Amino acid sequence: METTIEKYRKLSLEIILMLSKDNYNEAYKILEDREVIITELGRNGKIKQFKDEYKKQAVYIFDDNIKEFIEVKMNQVKKEIKEYQVKQKGNFIYASLKKENLNLFSKKI
């Protein structure tokens, strides 16, 4: 069981490293590797022992860091999307106003 928890810890540290470098594709691959470990433990019936070691060795701290990092990045992306939408609306309104002002002969004189 010791080697499995160490592999899990090592993969968690690699995920944190990849996320800090903005290398999301590599982080995703490592997350899949970690998921394989958990799946194998579930099949072998050793998941209870793993959970005990997980709590005992405080590996959950790494998972909390990963979760927090992802949440921060998600909030940044949401903010960028909102700012982009505001700019797009502003550009659309500006372009519409310019079109209306350019149409000098739309009214009968």
- Give me the domain span that covers residue 46: 2-102
Is 108 within the bounds of a domain? no
Say how many domains are in the chain.
1
Average pLDDT over residues 89-102: 68
User: Residue 63 falls within a domain, yes or no?
Assistant: yes
For 71-94, write each residue's pLDDT tens digit: 999 999 999 998 888 888 877 776
> For residue 109, is it within any domain?
no
pLDDT at 104 (0 to 100):
55
pTM: 0.70
Question: pLDDT at residue 10 above 90?
Answer: yes
Q: Buried b vs exposed e over 17-43: b needs ≥16 C-beta within 10 Å? A: ebbeeeeeeebeebbeebeeeeeebee
The C-alpha atoms of residue 11 and residue 5 are separated, in whole angstroms, by 10
Residue 19 has pLDDT above 80, yes or no: yes
User: Is 19 a domain residue?
Assistant: yes
55 lies in a domain? yes
